Amino acid sequence: MISKNKLIEKKKKLEELEKRLLNDKKLPLLRSNLVFGEGSIKAQIFFIGEAPGLKEDQLRRPFVGRSGELLTKTLLSIGIKREDVYITNLVKRRPPENRDPSLEEIKKYEPYLKEEIKLIDPQIIITLGRLALKDFIPDIKIGQAQGKIFKIDNRILIPMFHPAFALRGTGNLAKFKKTFDSLPSILGKI
């Protein structure tokens, strides 16, 4: 069990990280708001999406638009409360017109993501979508990798479809839900 003092220290370091991000004027996409990760600092499951959308930019919170609603609802359907996990993005500011973040943008924000992971220190990382998966395993297709278990730097990586993909048709939604439904059994095996 992590001590109270360690938790206070962790929280302080996360706040410092957020402040550094906010003040880093060399980062791309500075015209939009900073959307830092949120959730439990004790989380054992760490979700990584791509980049904030319009609603996330407005509210300065990750996954609070339609994709976020689906993510929150689907997590709850398998008995996981959103506030018990940690949720963040590869890129912490919204790309214009909701385009995908570029590889260059992802690389520029990457040191901050790495620090965020190190500070939260989760056992399991779940990447949401193709781009987040690519950041960890460049040469694998999401269709083949999703729902499988990978070991990366002493952590478990489970790639999942992005909720935005699930919102593009009932077939996609069924695939997305199926992987989430298998999560409790995957977690039980770890």
- Which residues form the interface with ligand URA (CB under 6 A)? 49-53, 56, 62-63, 65, 67-68, 89, 164
Residue nearest to ligand URA (CB): 49
Phi, psi of 124 (to 5 degrees): -125, 130
CB of 88 to ligand URA, least distance (A): 8
In contact, 146 and 160? CB cutoff 8 Å: yes
Q: Which is nearer to ligand URA, 2 or 30 (CB)?
A: 30
In contact, 95 and 37? CB cutoff 8 Å: no
Q: Which is nearer to ligand URA, 33 or 67 (CB)?
A: 67
Q: Which is nearer to ligand URA, 4 or 74 (CB)?
A: 74
Q: Which is nearer to ligand URA, 62 or 122 (CB)?
A: 62
Cα(130)–Cα(44) distance, integer angstroms: 22
CB of 82 to ligand URA, least distance (A): 13
Could you tell me the CA-to-CA distances from 36 to 91, 139, 154 in Å, in that order? Answer: 9, 28, 24
